Amino acid sequence: MDPTKIIEALRGTMDPALREAAERQLNEANKAVTFVSTLLQITMSDQLDLPVRQAGVIYLKNTITQFWAEREAASSDVPPFTIPEEDQQFIRENIIEAIIQSPELIRVQLTTCIHQIIKHDYPGRWPAVVDKIGFYLQTDNSAYWLGILLCLYQLVKNYEYKKPEERSPLVAAMQHFLPMMKDRFVQLLSDPSDHSVLIQKQIFKIFYALVQYTLPLELISQQNLTEWMEILKTVVDRDVPPETLQVDEDDRPELPWWKCKKWALHILARLFERYGSPGNVSKEYNEFADVFLKGYAVNIQQVLLKVLYQYKEKQYVAPRVLQQTLNYINQGVAHAVTWKNLKPHIQVRLLVMLNVFEDFISPTTAAQTLLYTACSKRKEVLQKTMGFCYQILTEPTVDPRKKDGALHMIGSLAEVLLKKKIYKDQMEFMLQNHVFPLFSSELGYMRARACWVLHYFCEVKFKNDQNLQTALELTRRCLIEDKEMPVKVEAAIALQVLISNQEKAKEYIKPFIRPVMQALLHIVRETENDDLTNVIQKMICEYSEEVTPIAVEMTQHLAMTFNQVIQTGPDEEGSDDKAVTAMGILNTIDTLLSVVEDHKEVSYSDD
């Protein structure tokens, strides 16, 4: 096959005037013997300009994905096309070199190719892949290491979700590769370059994929476990170069230094959660769990507490690093040995969680989980937490962000507080004195927090009906009158749960149902928020009689919102979320029809 013609066709795919003819030419050629081999050669050629190589590798990826594996023919059809064995052999012999020698833009497409090939050919048709990975992993040329680790990553990813009994080819390969990876990592620790840290990160990603769902105990010994734990602790503990602070804060989590720490913490949190917590593991991991808890958990926790202290002192910590740190510490709350080490640091943890809640950053869920676990399992923590929060709430000149964080902490503990008599009787007073006044705050986030707290304390037993009425009236006004959309969203959710959980609330809101439903429909249109379609459905069920006269108007509004939502193409960003919202709208219309089906004058209206 003439490579020149293929190169020209690939170049033509980038020219709108030539694209159609060029694609037709490539489609006619793609079943010919040596076509796929030629594409790989073009992809590997550094004599060609990068756009042509990119076009070639994308065409190669699509061809391999579609035609590598043999498929069964339908009874009367011609056997479906498969890439000829001659080409497959050429690809298997050369793709690893292509990956380790290619620039990033080419390499990322080639790793998809090798993933497909390993999936179908390893170990049966391509046992040699292991030897080749081993060869390049042992070479002294560090320029090859990142590429070859990407190949190994695809091998491991193919077995990541398989049952233990199906992983024997991987385990056999990792008997060789795990010690190599460890030796390479130790060697790289003294090299502070970005390239070195990228390679370290890739080794961690391989390790995580290896142990995420099944821990291959035959690969783990006391010695190598200790060595890996030391490596992981070293990476979490080491300083990030000061020049990284010159990078914009939004971009810092993408720096290799922070990504490497993130993956180290992913591994540590996963090992502790899934395999290292006695009493919470399947029986085959009992021995490992005892060894991990007694031999490693506390030392690791000490390093992670340093991360919390750094964050408390306003040093930058990437959000996902903080999130995984909190996840690991949460796991230690239930075990006496780790709790004993953790207990003296309660105040620091509370300050960290306050800062996390103030900042609205991604570790929020991890912080909530840790706070809830600690306060549920350790009674002294709940007492200290509430004292800490009340001190902030009662300080007249406190920074509003701190007050917001304290209320976030209290709301996260609502379920625990409402079960304990000493606290549940104080919650109405807390709402009256510290939450209701926030509805008149000039700060939108404080008004939103007030609604959020009412949502979480919707089951409070109000002794004074006036306080319940105040809660409902303030929330209703936020929903209908507030100018800030986040406040309206929180108010909508809070109002619905108050109506569902407070017997007297339903009657109070009944006269306002039309403006309330109109406000809800407007917010769904503006935000396309799936949570709010659930709110509307529940409100329809609560107020079926009151909704009936406005059912047609509501259905028309929902239909218009549905049409707006489905304008998003299937490949556009956010299309999955929009699909969920669209289904929510259809379910809401279905609910509306169900509650008015007995009212024929409504459901058969011509309006």
d(CA 96, CA 101): 9
- DSSP helix/strand/coil, 188: helix
Which segments in the chain show pLDDT lower than 70? 1, 73-77, 358-362, 568-576, 598-607
Whose CA is closest to 350, among 318, 293, 297, 391? 391
The span from the CA of 328 to the CA of 322, in Å, is: 10
Distance CA 446, CA 427 (A): 19
Residue 605 neighbours by CB under 8 Å, 6+ apart: 552
- With vertex at residue 290, the alpha carbon angle to CA 284 and CA 294, rounded to the nearest 5 degrees, is 160
Q: What is the pLDDT of residue 80?
A: 85
DSSP notation for 469-499: HHHHHHHHHHHHH-S-HHHHHHHHHHHHHHH
d(CA 195, CA 143) in angstroms, rounded, equals 9
User: With the CA atoms of 202, 203, 206 and 212 taken in that order, what torsion angle do they form, in degrees rounded to the nearest 10?
Assistant: -110
Give the pLDDT score at 568: 60
Q: Are 583 and 535 spatial neighbours (Cβ–Cβ below 8 Å)?
A: no
Residue 533 pLDDT? 87
123 prior amide bond cis, ω within 30: yes
Provide the angle, in degrees to the nearest 10, between the axes of the packed helices 256-270 and 222-237. Answer: 140
Q: Indicate the DSSP class of residue 79.
A: P
Contact at 8 Å (CB) between 235 and 264? yes
Integer Cα distance of 164 and 404 in angstroms: 47
Angle (deg, nearest 10), helices 85-101 and 145-157: 130
Query: What is the pLDDT, as a whole number, of residue 571?
Result: 46
What pLDDT sits at residue 362? 64
Helix residue ranges, H only, 278-413: 286-292, 298-312, 319-332, 336-342, 346-359, 364-377, 379-393, 400-412
Quote the CA–CA distance of 401 and 443 in Å, as a whole number: 10
> At 260, phi and psi to the nearest 5?
-65, -45
Confirm if 474 and 429 have CB atoms less than 8 A apart: no
The predicted model scores a pTM of: 0.80
The alpha-helical segments, DSSP class H, found in 30-84 are 35-44, 50-67
Tell me the two tokens of residue 502.
Answer: 């407070």
Closest by CA position to 118, among listed 179, 174, 63, 170:
170
In 224-315, the DSSP E strands lie at: none
Residue 280 per-residue DSSP state:
S
Q: Are 303 and 236 in contact (CB under 8 A)?
A: yes
Distance of alpha carbon 578 from alpha carbon 341, whole angstroms: 46
